[in-house]
Structure 1
Amino acid sequence: MGKTVPIRLNDEQLARVEESAALAGYKHLSTYMRDRLLEPSKVDSHQGGIDQWADQQRIMSLLESLDQAQATNRTILAIVVYLLRQNSTQGKLSELRAELSALGSNEEALAALLPELAKDIERLSGED
């Protein structure tokens, strides 16, 4: 038989531990406490909470940058549609489509379509 280790809990702490043990389906409080104490995934639950918070912050940051990229895409698409309507001759449309298909990024598309606007945006955003 193993050794016992005395643990002192106040009434509130004991009530919380008993409730947790009952919810987890344990009949004996000592078995619940031993399992909780020695369970590897629960050894550092505080660290797990910090890791979860850090993951949430990273995900929020990624979602924010995705939202910004989508806003940029919508703006550039609106510019392209406007330009397509302004230059409605078939030759101009074909030339514009070819130019856009060769470009890799939104910034390149904007620079090709409206170079002055692209320079202003770059200057105002502080990018070099």
Structure 2
Amino acid sequence: MAKTLPIRFNDEQTARLEEAAALAGYKHLSTYVRDRALATDRSGGRQADLDNWADQQRILSLLESLEHSQAANQTIMTIAVYLLRQSSTQGKLNELRTELSALGSNGEVLAALLPELAKDIERLSGED
């Protein structure tokens, strides 16, 4: 017959356990706590630590890539705002807004705003 064992956790500990159980795919917190308490394979713990470290490195790499993309987007948008403000006529301003709204990628926006600079960047980066 199964026997219960009362264990007390504070709110923060309970939240951490619930998050860990959910990440591990457990539906019931008690099952997760039991399995973790009875886990005797020490090498599995080291492997889990190594897996966690690898996941953290992958996430850091993705965040760095995201930051780089955001910086590029911000630069393109700054160029667009500057050029929009330089346009002297409302017709030219509306034409540029329409053209930019139809474009999808940063490269397309840059090519529309500054075609010579876009060609130089493409040539220097080795893209065809």
Bin for the TM-score computed over the shorter chain:
0.5 to 0.7
Is 1:37 the equivalent of 2:35?
no
- Distance in 2, matches of 1:85 and 1:36, equals 65
The TM-score normalised by the length of structure 1 is 0.66
Partner of 2:94: 94
Aligned-residue identity in percent:
70
Is 1:106 the equivalent of 2:94?
no
Partner of 2:80: 80
Is 1:64 the equivalent of 2:67?
no
Structure 2 counterpart of 1:86, which letter?
Q
Higher Cα radius of gyration: 1
RMSD of equivalent CA atoms: 1.8
Moved runs in structure 1, 4+ residues, more than 4 A? Answer: none
Q: Deviations over 1:52-73 (max 9, x none)?
A: 1111111111111111111101
Q: Deviations over 1:56-104 (max 9, x none)?
A: 1111111111111111011111111111111131001100010011001
The TM-score normalised by the length of structure 2 is 0.66
Structure 2 counterpart of 1:73, which letter?
N
In structure 2, stretches of 5+ residues that fail to align are 1-36
Tell me: higher relative CO, structure 1 or 2? Use CA pairs within 8 A at least 6 residues apart: 2
In structure 1, stretches of 5+ residues that fail to align are 1-33
Q: How many equivalent pairs are there? A: 92
SS in 2 for 1:107: helix
Partner of 2:54: 54
- Distance in 2, matches of 1:36 and 1:98, equals 62
Q: Deviations over 1:19-52 (max 9, x none)?
A: xxxxxxxxxxxxxxx93416xxx76011101111
Partner of 1:119: 119
- Distance in 2, matches of 1:106 and 1:45, equals 44
- Distance in 2, matches of 1:36 and 1:55, equals 22
